[in-house]
Structure 1
Amino acid sequence: PPGPAGHPPLEGEGDGAPVIPILFYRSMLLAADVAPIDALVDALHAQGIAPVPIFVSSLKDQASLAFVENALASLNPAAIVTATAFASGAEPGAETLFDRAGVPVFQVIVATTRREVWEKNQRGLAPADLAMHVVLPELDGRILAGAISFKG
């Protein structure tokens, strides 16, 4: 069978290749703006990792949350990469989807900041991007993995 995202099967896939789900918003898919996700899938695949892109409408929507929880349970991931912004919506002190997954969760940034602004700005990202993609995801314990795309 083909590997992730239509790639040929990974060497040893099914025999221990680490599975890494990539969570991203459905709006990116509907806008045909998934080039950053495709590039991330290709980069992980090249490293012998089995990436599994999963789009969601929201991590606060109960149906989407249940879908992701079921997917994670069946995938048994080594880690999770998420391009979803904000916090996952749990009340302070309540367990989140990411807590229940029990694996490292890496936050990648799909920035609304232009690359030129990011390069010249002392703080890097614009305040809205910092809040949505850095500060609030840290409430879930996500590990910042950097920007994978910029507004262009």
Structure 2
Amino acid sequence: MSPLKIHPALALLGLFAISAPAAPSDVEYIPFPSKEELRSIQLQAYACSRDNDAEACSNTRELIDPLLDHPRLPSSCKDVVWDLLQVANKVPKNSFQRRDAIDQPAKRLSIICINPAKQTAPKPSQQGGLVPQQS
């Protein structure tokens, strides 16, 4: 049986990988959007759908655009944001279909993009188990 031969370049690469410092953990904490922020976006989107105004639609797009790059938002939220971003435009004729296409993602925005609260597990009861407790 012959001894295992390791190429010097491979050994050097292995030593470098072991000795490389880990990535710094100085990552800035970015909070979820607040309910108030989501509500203001929602109201602006409703104004865009109702009034068919270029300024209201532009403000809606400006408010929701940063949410696409938000690192903590789930993809389901970003899908809703993308849908709203695509339809929040001024059009020559304001129809019910257009209004509904804006209102539906605006409604879902406050439901899907909200910060998920931590679920508290119920405390197990002291009774039960294999050995019955005696009083």
Q: TM-score, normalised by structure 1?
A: 0.24
* CA radius of gyration, larger in: 2
Larger relative contact order (CA 8 Å, sep ≥ 6): 2
Normalising by structure 2, we get a TM-score of 0.26
Q: Which has the higher helix share?
A: 2
